[in-house]
């Protein structure tokens, strides 16, 4: 069968690559770079792997199946990211991890960032994680074909579209019970200058950027682009 990417296909095909040590290392990075007190927002919390590691966090996601698991780790809500169901200035910090914003069309990202800004109090911190476009462009064709545990078999093909600055991906999962889940999706990669401009337009000041959770400087060989920004005190 074919269908939407988010849901069972996403959860079954992605979770095997998100080990506990990876989650713990990411959570340490987030705890270091977010306020230690106050309420935090995990935008795109998925099945709650970071919620379980960072107290005082509320999660938002659009995937109902993932939220079934996330509810065991914290307070969550199902929502489109353009209409976050919290009051203005409700949070002291927020993060958006794992290329979550890269799954939106370009014209939707400014809308999401403005909505995040609405939910954050002045001076609050926002951390955004994405993959480095330079690495994707250097490997214009990529794929995976193999077992991922539990008897599931994953076949994925990714083609980099330089005009749209994104990987266009087809993922096919043959489940151990014989069902086939398949969908196409994309991941848009933003460079530092693009993030600075998008964040400034939404009411943020970019404060720092690193190329990985080890804190290494961003360069063309970096795996990640991780940006820290502050909600401006006045517009």
Identify the three-state secondary structure at position 134.
Answer: helix
Rounded percentage of the chain residues whose pLDDT exceeds 90: 91
Give the closest residue to 26 by CA, choosing from 92, 77, 94, 98: 98
| Cβ contact 48:145 at 8 Å | no
Residue 3 lies in a domain: no
Where residue 6 falls among pLDDT bands split at 50, 70, 90?
A: confident
Q: What is the pLDDT of residues 139-178, one digit of tens each?
A: 999 999 999 988 999 999 999 999 999 999 999 999 999 9
pLDDT exceeds cutoff 80 at 36: yes
Q: What is the pLDDT of residues 61-96, one digit of tens each?
A: 999 999 999 999 999 999 989 999 999 999 999 999
Instruction: Give the per-residue pLDDT at 3.
Output: 54
Q: What is the pLDDT of residues 180-205, one digit of tens each?
A: 999 999 999 999 999 999 999 999 99
Q: What is the mean pLDDT of residues 107-134?
A: 97
73/100 Cα distance (integer angstroms): 20
Domain check: are 181 and 85 in the same one?
no
How much is the mean pLDDT over the chain? 94
Phi-psi region of 176 (alpha: psi -120 to 50; beta: other; left: phi over 0): alpha
Domain check: are 20 and 118 in the same one?
yes
* Count of structural domains, the chain: 2
Two structure tokens written together for 92: 């002291």
Domain check: are 208 and 144 in the same one?
no
Maximum separation of any 2 CA atoms in the chain, in Å: 56
pTM: 0.94
Domain check: are 92 and 162 in the same one?
no
The two counts, helices (H) then strands (E), for the chain are 6, 11
Q: Domain span at residue 173?
A: 135-187
């Amino acid at each position: 069968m074919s269908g939407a990417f988010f849901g069972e296909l996403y959860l079954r095909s992605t979770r095997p690559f998100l080990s506990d040590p990876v989650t713990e290392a990411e959570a340490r990075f987030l705890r270091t770079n977010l306020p230690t007190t106050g309420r935090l927002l995990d935008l795109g919390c998925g099945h709650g792997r970071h919620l379980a590691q960072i107290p005082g966090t509320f999660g938002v996601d659009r995937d109902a199946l993932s939220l079934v698991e996330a509810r065991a780790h914290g307070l969550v809500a199902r929502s489109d990211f353009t209409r976050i169901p919290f009051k203005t200035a409700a949070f002291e910090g927020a993060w958006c991890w794992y290329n979550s914003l890269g799954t939106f069309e370009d014209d939707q990202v400014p809308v999401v960032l403005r909505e995040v800004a609405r939910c954050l109090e002045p001076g609050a911190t926002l951390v955004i994680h994405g993959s480095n476009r330079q690495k994707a462009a250097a490997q214009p064709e990529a794929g995976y074909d193999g077992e991922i545990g539990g008897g599931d078999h994953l076949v994925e093909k990714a083609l980099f579209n330089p005009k749209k600055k994104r990987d266009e991906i087809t993922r096919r999962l043959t489940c151990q019970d014989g069902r086939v889940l398949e969908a196409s999706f994309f991941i848009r990669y933003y460079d530092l200058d693009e993030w600075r401009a998008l964040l400034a337009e939404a009411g943020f000041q970019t404060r720092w950027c690193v190329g990985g959770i080890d804190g290494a400087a961003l360069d063309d060989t970096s795996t990640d682009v991780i940006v820290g920004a502050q909600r401006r005190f006045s517009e």
